[in-house]
Amino acid sequence: MTRDPRYDVLFEPIQIGPVTAKNRFYQVPHCAGMGHRYPFANAEHRKVKAEGGWAVVCTEESEIHHSSEISPSTESRIWDEKDMPALQLLTDGVHQHGGLAGIELVYIGYHGPNRYSREVPMAPSNTVVDSYEPLQARAMDRQDIRNLRRWHKQAAVRARNAGFDIVYAYAGHDMSLPMHFLSKRHNQRSDEYGGSLENRVRLFRELIEETKEAIGDKCAIAVRLAVDELLGESGINSDGEGKEIVSMLAELPDLWDVNISGWSNDSMTSRFSAEGFQEEYTAFVKSVTTKPVVGVGRFTSPDTMLSQIRRGVLDFIGAARPSIADPFLPAKIDAGRENDIRECIGCNICVASDNIVTPIRCTQNPTAGEEWRRGWHPERIQPIKANKVAEAKESVLIVGGGPSGLECARALAQRGYRITLADSESEIGGRVVLESRLPGLSNWIRVRDYRTGQLDQMLNTEVFSNSTMDASLVKEFGCDHVVLATGSHWRRDGKGRQHKQPIPGLESFPVFTPNDLLSQTFNPDQLGSGGVAIFDDDHYYMGGILAEKLAKGGLKVTLITPASEVSTWTQHTLEQDRIQTRLLELDVNVVQQRRLARLNAKEIEVACIYTGRTESIDCQSIVLVTERAPERRLFDELIKRRNFGELDQVKSIRLVGDALAPSTIAAAVYSGHRCAREFGQQIDLDTAPFKREMPWYGNH
């Protein structure tokens, strides 16, 4: 296949100061949860993107000095020469595939409590740190500012020596000291660095000028700026100070990387934003500078990318999350394989990984974060060895066409096995089909569509819907291996985190689960007109989104949760505040820090999780969003029959995904992929199945 000529413009080389990007695909700085703690893993993760055709591949935030760090989060560090070898691993890997390596230098300011270094944080003015802990940052004096400028310049020189081609001066996401100086919300100084916008811009201008003076003949100098904080006149905005700042500094850097702030706005989930959603805030930038501009917007469609370039909105297509979901996105467009792109679904599981201080993971790309430690490549997988003729003829029956079963089928077929996938439903896709019908989650169907699209292209696969399998049918089928991806179902007895035993009184009350509400045959009238309660002990998106769905349908909804806020785990995916705001706007009655005490004919009684004090809530029915039970009846029956010698021809029977342990869709995809990777291998359960990055106990 060859590239569609319409997309030729996406592959034009672009000059950025003294360096040239080979095309317009630009992986902007993003966290990966690896940084200085896992340098080999971080380097391989970025290297794979360069291999996949990204012209520019950047680090995450790279801390420039020990007096400003954000432990336990794992960023890159460029404190001194000891950090150079780790950074050179990254630049060497990117250069190996013809990419430019970029580094985002950062001084965190009041955003970093310095838990590791125990240095007192610094800020433009005295202020509390940006975390819930009893700590304040001190106001910087002029000597502190001179020190910061020196540290930034020293870090830039180290970055050049480590092989970076693009070096950032960073003022974005409300996470960096230059941004804090720019912002009148944070900067209450009365000297030459405070007051007027010109004064507030002074430090940022000095950092850019001094960085360019130090390394500008070898490296491009990029500026990352949040041009709008979505706070109106209370903050920097694209119609006011955001535009003025860009105009003041327009020709100073070699490249403008522009976005919105803070991180929860910049990385908004697909539930609350569409592809290209930042354009309305960043489109002005090219009108006030001649320098190339990169911006983001969760771009996955080549046509949308082309539109951004043709209409003069951007010069580079920036991406963080889409580059994680498909590191080979540019290469696929270049080869005329747009239909093979593994499109980001905007769920922010990648963001959550960083927020819970773990290496990156992705719903669409199960190899993300595993490139080095497991040796998993996003496009290549170990085929059946040519000398294993018998194994190449082996057949695998996969029961269940949800995310885990589909991924297992796709990867096993890629390896060369003969695959039959059977699903009991009329539409393949399992839980993603149902959940993608919920408000704002339509992009999640991409999990199904990518995998069915790949299976359709393979000659060694067969997919059957409306095919309910039992033990007798499995035996009759005569396969060599069975993989059960039969999913799970929500419990109807209330057992979960808060209630370790079934809740009393359920037998006398109309009880529903998410499975009921997601069924195509469900009629909301079954809930009654007297109000419905949702008890959310799951704490991810399901309880909140069902409340939204029912409230939009005109029902009176009460959401009860033992947590202090609704959908609390979505703090990690940066959407909790939007979820709670939406529910309050829909007049959902939110009852927090309560468990279910008992139910009777017309009301439920809830109890405070701290004091045990009870209160009654009028409602006619309740939806329990608590715990899920693995659907493993077929597995148990097959194991029983094999133990009795009835399935001698079946060499292995495996459980994957939610049937093994209910979790996120990302975990289900990963489980199916891992099963396929490990097929035919002897697994040593006594040792870790991945490489570890060990500390070096020598002279430091």
The mean pLDDT value of the chain amounts to 95
- Can you spell out the DSSP letters for 95-131? HHTTPEEEEEEE--GGG---TTT-PPPEESS-EE-SS
Specify the 3-state DSSP secondary structure of 149: helix
Residue 386 pLDDT exceeds 60: no
The pLDDT confidence band at residue 390, using thresholds 50, 70 and 90, is low
Query: What does the pLDDT read at residue 601?
Result: 73
User: pLDDT by residue (tens digit) across 57-114?
Assistant: 999 999 999 999 999 999 999 999 999 999 999 999 999 999 999 999 999 999 999 9
- Can you spell out the DSSP letters for 371-403? TTTT---SS--PPPPTT-HHHHT-EEEEE--SH
The pLDDT confidence band at residue 404, using thresholds 50, 70 and 90, is very high
- Read off φ and ψ for residue 119, nearest 5 degrees: -75, 150
- Read off φ and ψ for residue 43, nearest 5 degrees: -65, -40
User: pLDDT by residue (tens digit) across 523-543?
Assistant: 998 998 889 999 999 999 999
- Can you spell out the DSSP letters for 308-333? HHHTTS-SEEEESHHHHH-TTHHHHH
User: pLDDT by residue (tens digit) across 575-625?
Assistant: 999 999 999 999 999 999 999 998 887 789 999 999 999 999 999 999 999
Strand ranges in 320-478 using DSSP code E only, listed in sequence order: 395-399, 418-422, 461-464
With a CB cutoff of 8 Å and minimum separation 6, the contacts of 487 are 400, 402, 430, 431, 631, 657, 658, 659
User: pLDDT by residue (tens digit) across 299-353?
Assistant: 999 999 999 999 999 999 999 999 999 999 999 999 999 999 999 999 999 999 9
Domains of the chain plus CATH, in order, are: 5-355 (3.20.20.70), 389-487+632-678 (3.40.50.720), 492-629 (3.50.50.60)
The pLDDT confidence band at residue 372, using thresholds 50, 70 and 90, is very high
pLDDT average, residue stretch 391-396: 78
The pLDDT confidence band at residue 212, using thresholds 50, 70 and 90, is very high
pLDDT average, residue stretch 271-298: 96
Token pair 């694209």 is at which residue? 238
Residues that are catalytic? 31, 170, 173, 266
User: CA end-to-end span of the chain, whole Å?
Assistant: 53
Q: Tell which wins on pLDDT, 530 or 560.
A: 560
| Calpha distance 316→339 (Å, rounded) | 22
Q: Tell me, what DSSP letter sits at residue 497? A: S
Q: Tell me, what DSSP letter sits at residue 82? A: G
Token pair 């580094």 is at which residue? 103
Q: Is the pTM of this model over 0.85?
A: yes
Q: What is the 3-state secondary structure (H, E, C) of 539-559?
A: CCCHHHHHHHHHHHCCCCEEE
User: pLDDT by residue (tens digit) across 638-686?
Assistant: 999 998 888 888 999 999 999 999 999 999 999 999 999 999 888 888 9
